[in-house]
Amino acid sequence: MKIIRITAILGALMMLGSCAGNSLDHYKDTTPRADIKEYFNGPIKAWGIVQDWRGRVIRRFDVDMVGEWKGDVGTLTEYFNYYDGEKQQRIWTIKKMSDGTYQGTASDIIDTATGKIEGSAVRWNYVMDLPVDDTTYHIRFDDWMWLMNDDVLINRSYLKKFGFTVSELTIFMQKQK
């Protein structure tokens, strides 16, 4: 009986600990300070991988991006070149809101993406229609980006279905001069 009680308490503590997760507040005082309007303005080159739930790399790709802002509304055009030969284009419309948060839309994004910045970190959340073989899934993306020195931005995305991480995406971006 005592073992069951201890196991239940440990399980509850582990669940509470996993719910705490990563918080943008942790990055409030970090530098260099991220600015979506500044970083995603002009040409950007990126390289990425997709890993399955076991950590195996299942896709690799390069991305050429071009961002342009008019006031608080920006357009980010992404050209994906997958190493398996597939090509893809996504055009984001991003708006900076009066409270400092961001909202974004694209043709394969369900509803509206939302983003927030603290220090060097950006968190971006959205649901995407993601085609896999002959089926399209609604996958929740939890994007975390960190601005580094030398105009490098590192993006880690956790792709979730029913609350479970089903794959991860890592992208290294570098602003082009």
Q: Is residue 166 part of a domain?
A: yes
pLDDT tens across 108-117, in order?
999 999 999 9
Question: What pLDDT does residue 140 have?
Answer: 97
> Each residue of 53-76: pLDDT tens digit?
999 999 999 999 999 999 999 999
Does 3 fall in a domain?
no
Tokens encoding 3? 């073992």
Dihedrals phi, psi of 19, to nearest 5 degrees: -70, -30
Whether 2 is covered by a domain: the verdict is no
- For 8, 42, 75, 120, the CA distances from 146, given in Å and listed in that order, are 37, 18, 21, 5
- The helix (run of H) or strand (run of E) holding residue 79 is strand 73-82
Q: How far apart are CA 57 and CA 48, in angstroms?
A: 10
So what's the pLDDT on residue 43? Answer: 98
Q: Is residue 17 part of a domain?
A: no
Q: How many domains does the chain contain in total?
A: 1
Query: Higher pLDDT residue, 47 or 11?
Result: 47
Confidence of residue 1 (pLDDT cuts 50, 70, 90): low
Using one digit for the tens of pLDDT, what is the confidence trace for 21-51? 789 999 999 999 999 999 999 999 999 999 9
Whether 46 contacts 174, CB under 8 Å:
yes
In this predicted structure, the answer to whether residue 3 has a pLDDT above a threshold of 90 is no
| Residue 32: inside a domain | yes
Range of the structural domain that residue 137 is part of = 23-175
Is 7 a residue whose pLDDT tops 70? Answer: no
Structural domain includes residue 83: yes
Rg (alpha carbons) of the chain, rounded to whole number? 18
Residue 56 lies in a domain: yes
Across the chain, mean pLDDT equals 91
Q: Which CATH number characterizes residue 109's domain? A: 2.40.128.20
Is residue 113 in some structural domain?
yes
Give 161's contacts (C-beta < 8 A, 6+ positions apart).
137, 138, 139, 140
Q: Give residue 131's pLDDT.
A: 85
pLDDT tens per residue across span 138-155: 999 999 999 999 999 999
What long-range pairs does 60-69 form, CB within 8 A, spacing at least 24? 63/171, 63/173, 65/40, 65/173, 66/42, 67/39, 67/40, 67/41, 67/42, 68/41, 69/37, 69/40, 69/41
